[in-house]
Amino acid sequence: MNTLLLKVIVTPALIGTASLAGRRWGDSISGWLVALPLTTGPIAFFLALTHGTAFAAVSAAGTLAGGFSLAAFVLAYAWLAPRWKWLPTLAASILAFGLLTAVLQQVTLPLVPLYALVVLIYVLELRLLPKPANSAIPNEDLPPQWDIPLRMVIATAFVIFITAIAPAFGPHLTGLLSPFPIFTATLAAFAHHLHGGEAAIKVLRGLLMGLFAYASFFFTLAALLVPAGIAAAFAVAILVVIVFQSIALWLLRRQLSA
């Protein structure tokens, strides 16, 4: 089976499943779900298949560094959402992501300090994130039926695009661009438009709880792809994601119960 066919099958299947589950369990769980490496993971896998483990390992480290840009997007959206409408909030948050990505393109950190810094940023951001004033968000006005198919199409197109431009952009910039928050932006903007800024903050808090698994996944890939190979590196990385996301879900449910 060629890589293009794999991209067309695997990516929409992952995104569709996660979107349905998120719709079933609410805004915070939706945010937690999109923290899973549903687009960035397939990108790393296809880069390893197409360009080799060394290229993919550098790209994985770049995707880990892109976690800083993702944190900038989340913090900007969370602080602006209670004050602005969804469109200017989204535009400003994307700008924050882009500006920090441009800075990070000029910086390369050793893998272990990079991972430690990303995790520290997420811990601090959880404390800085505004707490929603309202615990009850109405469930009316569900997204239209075409919402999930559109997400699947956009995700597949993004994976194909990033893997296609990888040789021209190089592994580091490819990695930095991979975590562009397509689904976080979609979920937060939908929640913001339908139910207000408080709902968007719930999405972003769920996302942040899951980003520790995201960071650990790419740290594992960057460390293991070259010495262990594709199969072993991804097997360990997926196991790491399962452990971290399970802990995050337990903590998130405790918060929601409280």
Please tell me the predicted confidence (pLDDT) of residue 156.
Answer: 77
Count: domains in the chain = 1
231 located within any domain: yes
CB 104 within 8 A of CB 65: yes
3-class secondary-structure state, position 115: helix
**Alpha-carbon span 141 to 139, nearest angstrom:** 7
Q: Which residue has the tokens 């959402």?
A: 81
Please tell me the predicted confidence (pLDDT) of residue 140.
Answer: 45
**Alpha-carbon span 81 to 79, nearest angstrom:** 6
CB 22 within 8 A of CB 147: no
Buried b (16+ CB within 10 A) or exposed e, 133-159: eeeebeeeeebeeeebeebbebbbebb
Please tell me the predicted confidence (pLDDT) of residue 157.
Answer: 81
3-class secondary-structure state, position 258: coil
CB 105 within 8 A of CB 176: yes
Task: Provide the domain limits for residue 152.
Answer: 24-45+52-133+144-257
Displacement of CA 173 from its chain's centroid (Å): 16
Stretch (H or E) spanning 131: none
Distance set, CA 234 to CA 191, 219, 237 (Å): 33, 11, 5
pLDDT tens by residue, 94-116 = 999 999 999 999 988 999 999 99
3-class secondary-structure state, position 34: helix
7 located within any domain: no
**Alpha-carbon span 59 to 257, nearest angstrom:** 39
5 located within any domain: no
pLDDT tens by residue, 182-191 = 778 877 887 7
Please tell me the predicted confidence (pLDDT) of residue 133.
Answer: 60
81 located within any domain: yes
Please tell me the predicted confidence (pLDDT) of residue 163.
Answer: 76
**Alpha-carbon span 203 to 26, nearest angstrom:** 9
170 located within any domain: yes
114 located within any domain: yes
**Which stretches of the chain drop beneath a pLDDT of 70?**
1-8, 10-11, 14-15, 17-19, 21-23, 26-28, 30, 132-147, 256, 258
